[in-house]
């Protein structure tokens, strides 16, 4: 007789593992099926965590080279890429093992292998010895995440033509790296390899980088990255990529018709990700997809088939780890008869370059499109005492507030600590704060967060320090 569970989750990324732990906390007999050797999904294994580790290590390397200018003599700074990669791997291993520990602690059963639907209540698991186990379930949650997409007829070899996965594990620093796509993953990886010594070129089809971001922030961000040595080629389309024994050559056409060819040792294709549904056998049980081949769900995360749910990158919404986690908690609580909820209007987005970029809520472009009347408050870090004291004065905070009610509608910032500071704005917005509320909240001095208070004061044209 096959083992029976109340809920089976397929995929152990931030959506799946968080959901599994919450279900177990709520007393529900839960199993999680994962095809990868380790738990934690894209995020922990080949996404958020290794990229942030390399961003931090490469930033330290880059900074150490300049320390003598600041009066700190450290001798010759040398890169040991192998050790850097080992440090990254150590961070990944410790976190993925941590999820194993949490599964044991919460009594979540972990099945290793590829999960697929045999029927709407039976899940087949094929392990790496090709052995099949079938388990029974009352409810199933699809949390199989996403995978990188390439350009038409171009295959990743993860050596010369790489996705983010290959870019996280290069064995030598490329002399020249071309990145196709100016989104956040490409720019984070570009920053890493540029700091470690590569000449980096970003080819972007649009007339701006980081699509969807507030345009003013996006412009400033590109200016800062250009100053750091990253080369941008906007309004440029890749026509072909050909591998040769030294690397690759890339033919492109600019919007004005000019052809430009690039030769490089590594091409990172970073043009987006697609839902990972390939092994699930969804057709057989009739789970419907939307026009972008994502699993279609209703507002309760339920698919077109009763008792089958989907969360995270595999369904609609921003492909972000914390969005997947929120959905995991919400669906677990709904299954347990509680009222789970995700506020899709208040999901922060962070780019972990140096400085960081963080946003929440509406951009100025979105407010214009919605015909919403708004006020803008801005404050530059050039006038922030902490930023000046530690010589990191780039960037600014921008707050968008409703013209009539003063309710905060969006916050966008570039700053070394933007990724942390945006959390204050998330809480404020969840409580429906006005810019006046933020302006009247005491912020410690000297901190970067004082710039948020000043930007709020500036909504009403009363900033003190600018």
Which residues are the active-site residues?
A: 445
Q: List C-alpha distances in Å: 141 to 8, 296, 307, 339.
A: 6, 13, 8, 17
Instruction: Give, as one character, the DSSP assignment of residue 188.
Output: H
Instruction: Pick from 30, 51, 359, 363 the residue near ligand FAD by CB under 6 A.
Output: 51
Residue 10 found at the interface with ligand FAD (CB under 6 A): yes
Segment contacting ligand FAD (CB under 6 A): 58-66, 113-121, 339-347, 457-465? 113-121
Helices (H), 213-347: 215-227, 282-285, 321-335
Residue 41 found at the interface with ligand FAD (CB under 6 A): yes
Instruction: Pick from 34, 364, 394, 454 the residue near ligand FAD by CB under 6 A.
Output: 34
Cis geometry, peptide bond prior to residue 355 (ω within 30 degrees of 0): yes
Segment contacting ligand FAD (CB under 6 A): 30-38, 95-103, 397-405, 435-443? 30-38
**Distance between CA atoms of 206 and 227, rounded to whole angstroms?**
20
Segment contacting ligand FAD (CB under 6 A): 56-64, 193-201, 272-280, 299-307? 272-280
Write down the least CB distance from residue 437 to ligand FAD, Å.
27
Site for ligand FAD in 349-368 (CB under 6 A): 352
Write down the least CB distance from residue 363 to ligand FAD, Å.
18
Residue 210 found at the interface with ligand FAD (CB under 6 A): no
Is there a contact between 241 and 270 (Cβ–Cβ < 8 Å)?
no
The end-to-end CA distance of the chain, in Å, is: 72
Instruction: Pick from 30, 42, 58, 354 the residue near ligand FAD by CB under 6 A.
Output: 42
Is there a contact between 358 and 349 (Cβ–Cβ < 8 Å)?
yes
**Distance between CA atoms of 431 and 394, rounded to whole angstroms?**
30
Q: What would the x/- binding string for ligand FAD be over residues 299 to 338, using CB under 6 A?
A: -------------xxx----xxxx-x--------------
β-strands 236-244, 161-162: how paired?
unpaired
- How many residues does this entry show for the chain? 466
**Distance between CA atoms of 191 and 85, rounded to whole angstroms?**
16
Write down the least CB distance from residue 12 to ligand FAD, Å.
6
Give phi and psi for 10, each to the nearest 5: -100, 115
Segment contacting ligand FAD (CB under 6 A): 27-35, 400-408, 449-457, 458-466? 27-35
Site for ligand FAD in 164-183 (CB under 6 A): 164
E strands, 304-405, are 308-310, 349-351, 356-361, 374-380, 396-402
Q: Which residues bind ligand FAD (CB under 6 A)?
A: 10-16, 33-36, 41-43, 47-48, 51, 114-116, 143-146, 164, 185, 276, 279-280, 312-314, 319-322, 324, 352
């Amino acid at each position: 007789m096959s083992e029976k569970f109340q809920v089976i989750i397929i995929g152990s990324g931030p959506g799946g593992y968080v959901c599994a732990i919450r279900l177990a906390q709520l007393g529900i007999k839960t199993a999680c099926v994962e095809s990868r050797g380790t738990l934690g999904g894209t995020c922990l294994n080949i996404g958020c965590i290794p990229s942030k580790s390399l961003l931090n290590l490469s930033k330290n390397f880059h900074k150490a080279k300049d320390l003598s200018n600041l009066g700190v003599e450290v001798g010759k700074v040398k890169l040991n890429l192998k050790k850097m990669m080992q440090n990254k791997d150590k961070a990944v291993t410790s976190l993925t093992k941590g999820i194993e520990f949490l599964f044991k602690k919460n009594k979540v059963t972990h099945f290793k292998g590829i999960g697929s639907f045999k029927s709407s209540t039976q899940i087949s698991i094929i392990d790496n010895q090709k052995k099949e186990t079938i388990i029974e379930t009352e409810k199933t949650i699809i949390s199989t995440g996403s995978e990188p997409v390439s350009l038409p007829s171009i295959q990743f070899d993860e050596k010369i033509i790489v996705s983010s996965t290959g870019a996280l594990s290069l064995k030598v620093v490329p002399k020249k790296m071309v990145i196709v796509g100016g989104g956040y993953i490409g720019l984070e990886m570009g920053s890493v390899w540029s700091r470690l010594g590569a000449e980096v070129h970003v080819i972007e089809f649009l007339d701006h980088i980081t699509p969807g971001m507030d345009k003013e922030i996006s412009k400033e961000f590109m200016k800062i990255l250009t100053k750091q040595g990253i080369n941008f080629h906007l309004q440029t389309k890749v026509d072909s990529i050909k591998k040769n024994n030294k690397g690759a050559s890339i033919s492109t056409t600019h919007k004005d018709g000019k052809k430009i060819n690039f030769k490089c040792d590594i091409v990172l294709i970073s043009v987006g990700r697609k839902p990972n549904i390939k092994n699930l056998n969804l057709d057989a049980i009739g789970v419907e997809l939307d026009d972008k081949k994502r699993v279609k769900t209703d507002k309760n995360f339920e698919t077109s088939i009763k008792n089958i749910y989907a969360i995270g990158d595999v369904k609609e919404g921003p492909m972000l780890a914390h969005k997947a986690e929120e959905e995991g908690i919400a669906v677990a609580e709904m299954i347990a008869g509680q009222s789970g909820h995700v506020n899709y209007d208040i999901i922060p987005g962070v780019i972990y370059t140096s400085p960081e970029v963080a946003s929440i809520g509406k951009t100025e472009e979105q407010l214009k499109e919605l015909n919403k009347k708004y006020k803008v408050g801005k404050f530059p870090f050039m006038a922030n005492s902490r930023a000046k004291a530690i010589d990191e004065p780039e960037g600014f905070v921008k707050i968008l507030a409703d013209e009539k009610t003063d309710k905060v509608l969006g916050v966008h910032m570039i700053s070394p600590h933007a990724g942390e500071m945006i959390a204050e704005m998330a809480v404020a917005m969840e409580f429906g704060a006005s810019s006046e509320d933020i302006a009247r909240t005491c912020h410690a001095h000297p901190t970067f967060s004082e710039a948020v208070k000043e930007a709020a004061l500036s909504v009403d044209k009363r900033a003190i320090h600018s």
